């Protein structure tokens, strides 16, 4: 029966050579990902503003990233009259 030391001498080189051990995980670059909000049947890119109906009447809202989820930032600015 092989000793524990002999088994470790076989396993350590295998584990050390794995790509996961060689490179640390990197956080995703959210600026490089195409993210969209949805409104009025269309997809709106991050940073763009649209007019949304709210309880206070139509207001401008901006599509933005909130933690890791796309969401609308409703402003107090009324929508411009067309």
Q: Is the Cβ–Cβ distance between 37 and 46 less than 8 Å?
A: yes
* Domain that residue 10 falls in: 4-78
**Average pLDDT in the 37-60 region?**
93
As a whole number of angstroms, the distance between CA 48 and CA 39 comes to: 11
Element (H, E) at 36: strand 36-39
- Number of domains making up the chain: 1
* Residue 21 zone, left/alpha/beta (φ > 0; ψ -120 to 50; rest): alpha
pTM greater than the 0.75 cutoff: no
Of the pLDDT bands very low, low, confident and very high (cuts 50, 70, 90), residue 14 is: very low
**Average pLDDT in the 9-14 region?**
54
């Amino acid at each position: 029966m092989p000793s524990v030391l002999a088994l470790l001498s076989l396993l350590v080189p295998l584990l050390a050579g794995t790509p996961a051990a060689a490179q640390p995980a990197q956080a995703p670059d959210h600026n490089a990902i195409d993210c969209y909000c949805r409104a009025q049947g269309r997809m709106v890119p991050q940073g763009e503003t649209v007019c949304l109906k709210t309880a206070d009447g139509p207001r401008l809202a901006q599509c933005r990233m909130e933690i890791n989820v796309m969401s609308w930032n409703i402003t107090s600015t009324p929508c411009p009259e067309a």
